[in-house]
Amino acid sequence: MKWLFRKRKEREIHTVETMIRMYCRAKHHTKGTLCESCAEVFSYATMKYNRCVFGEQKPVCTVCPVHCYNKDMRERIRVIMRFAGPRMILHHPVMAIDHLILQRWSRKNMPVFLKRVKKKKGTGMRQKIA
């Protein structure tokens, strides 16, 4: 439960990793490790989190106004989330609630995020993160 005391971004990465692991175990029959395809999705998501234009104060990706994932990865992570999302409350209730809190925080601060996006528009922000 140490993850609960980490920063928002780290908690989000931890939750996404848990969801990918859950999906991989069920769909690709892995035990303790990720298959190549799921490892690729996790590594891509981690890279995006670490390079997020919002820095440490990022919204959760699911409610982000930018959505910097490429089309293929967006679809792959969406499939994983759709599978693991409803199962989280049963298997990892604290994590699921924490994620809902993070989502709520992100929505509450949406005007701030939108303002930042607007400010950086025209400076190549969208192209840079596409």
Query: What are the C-alpha distances in Å from 22 to residues 19, 48, 106, 117?
Result: 5, 21, 25, 33
24, 61, 66, 80: residue in contact with Zn ion (rule CB under 5 A): 24
CB of 68 to ligand SF4, least distance (A): 3
Q: Does 76 bind ligand SF4 (CB under 6 A)?
A: no
Distance between CA atoms of residues 31 and 45, nearest Å:
21
The total number of residues shown for the chain amounts to 130
19, 64, 77, 80: residue in contact with ligand SF4 (rule CB under 6 A): 64
Q: Which residue is nearest to ligand SF4 (CB)?
A: 64
H or E element at residue 119? helix 110-120
Tokens representing 46 are: 């981690």
Distance between CA atoms of residues 118 and 17, nearest Å:
31
Q: Does 22 bind Zn ion (CB under 5 A)?
A: no
How far does the chain reach from its first CA to its final CA, in angstroms? Answer: 34
For residue 28, the partner it binds in Zn ion, ligand SF4, none, with Cβ less than 5 to 8 A by kind, is Zn ion
Residues 12-51 contacting ligand SF4, CB under 6 A: 48-49
3, 8, 14, 35: residue in contact with Zn ion (rule CB under 5 A): 35
For residue 67, the partner it binds in ligand SF4, Zn ion, none, with Cβ less than 5 to 8 A by kind, is ligand SF4
